[in-house]
């Protein structure tokens, strides 16, 4: 009986141990993934998640105000960009700063202030709203380039590079639309990192393409 009881106790102990091991294995991938990123990389992914949201929210707002298709089209693309960053957040077990946030609301105070500034600028006229689109894409390109230089993870680099290509296309679309609407030719400007951008000054170019 003693041997049988010891055997049963051993089986129970092994079962408990197995359950504990399984629970650790179920939780550890996200924790291990997060620990593989530096604090700057984590902050960078979170920042880019909200910066893509800023672009999306501004364009949705201006489409509602002006009804110009470019805002609606690029807003849809920005939603895809947001989803790409969300994939990284989920993969590495990083908290999503945009979770549950409605249009125009941001966790990052600097991005909140920038959103408010850009909306105020774009409310002045359609031309001003298009110029805001140019500014957003220029800032996005600058910040993506900065984040690319600060990560060693190939999957994060891949996402950032894809977003960079998208932002370059968006910038081209906004500059072309601005020229069509106003004749203004905008020169590429990338504000220095850590500064709040002002609306870039264009130069009058008539109908020149």
Distance CA(144)–CA(55), nearest Å, equals 14
- Under DSSP, the state recorded for 202 is P
pLDDT tens digits, residue range 103-136? 999 999 999 999 999 999 999 999 999 999 999 9
pTM: 0.75
Q: What are the tokens at 106?
A: 């941001």
Q: What does the DSSP assignment read for 160-194?
A: HHHHHHHHHHHHHHHHHHHHHHH-EEPPP--PPTT
Q: Where do the structural domains in the chain lie, given as residue ranges?
A: 1-35, 38-204
pLDDT tens digits, residue range 55-76? 999 999 999 999 999 999 999 9
- DSSP lists the bridge partners of residue 185 as 203
pLDDT of residue 14: 36
Neighbours of 172 (CB within 10 A): 12
pLDDT tens digits, residue range 10-25? 433 434 333 333 333 3
Q: What are the tokens at 194?
A: 């850590």
CATH topology of domain 38-204: Ferritin (1.20.1260)
Residues 6 or more apart from 13 whose CB is under 8 A from it? none
Look at the chain and count its residues: 209
How distant is the alpha carbon of residue 179 from its chain centre? Answer: 27
Distance CA(186)–CA(206), nearest Å, equals 12
Compute the mean pLDDT over every residue in the chain, rounded to the nearest whole number.
81
């Amino acid at each position: 009986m003693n041997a049988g009881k010891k055997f049963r106790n051993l089986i129970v102990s092994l079962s408990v141990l197995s359950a504990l091991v399984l629970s650790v294995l179920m939780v550890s991938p996200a924790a291990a993934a997060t620990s593989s990123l530096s604090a700057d990389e984590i902050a960078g992914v979170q920042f880019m998640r909200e910066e893509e949201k800023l672009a999306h929210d501004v364009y949705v707002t201006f489409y509602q105000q002006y009804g110009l298709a470019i805002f609606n089209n690029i807003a849809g693309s920005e939603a895809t960009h947001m989803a790409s960053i969300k994939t990284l957040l989920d993969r590495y077990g990083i908290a999503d700063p945009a979770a549950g946030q409605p249009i125009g609301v941001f966790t990052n105070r600097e991005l909140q202030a920038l959103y408010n500034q850009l909306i105020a600028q774009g409310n002045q006229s359609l031309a001003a709203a298009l110029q805001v689109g140019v500014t957003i894409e220029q800032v996005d390109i600058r910040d993506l380039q900065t984040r690319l230089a600060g990560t060693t993870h190939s999957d994060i680099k891949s996402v950032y590079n894809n977003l960079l290509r998208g932002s370059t296309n968006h910038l081209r679309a906004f500059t072309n639309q601005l020229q069509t609407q106003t004749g203004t030719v905008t020169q590429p400007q990338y504000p220095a990192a850590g500064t709040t951008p002002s609306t870039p000054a264009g130069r009058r170019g008539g109908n020149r393409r």
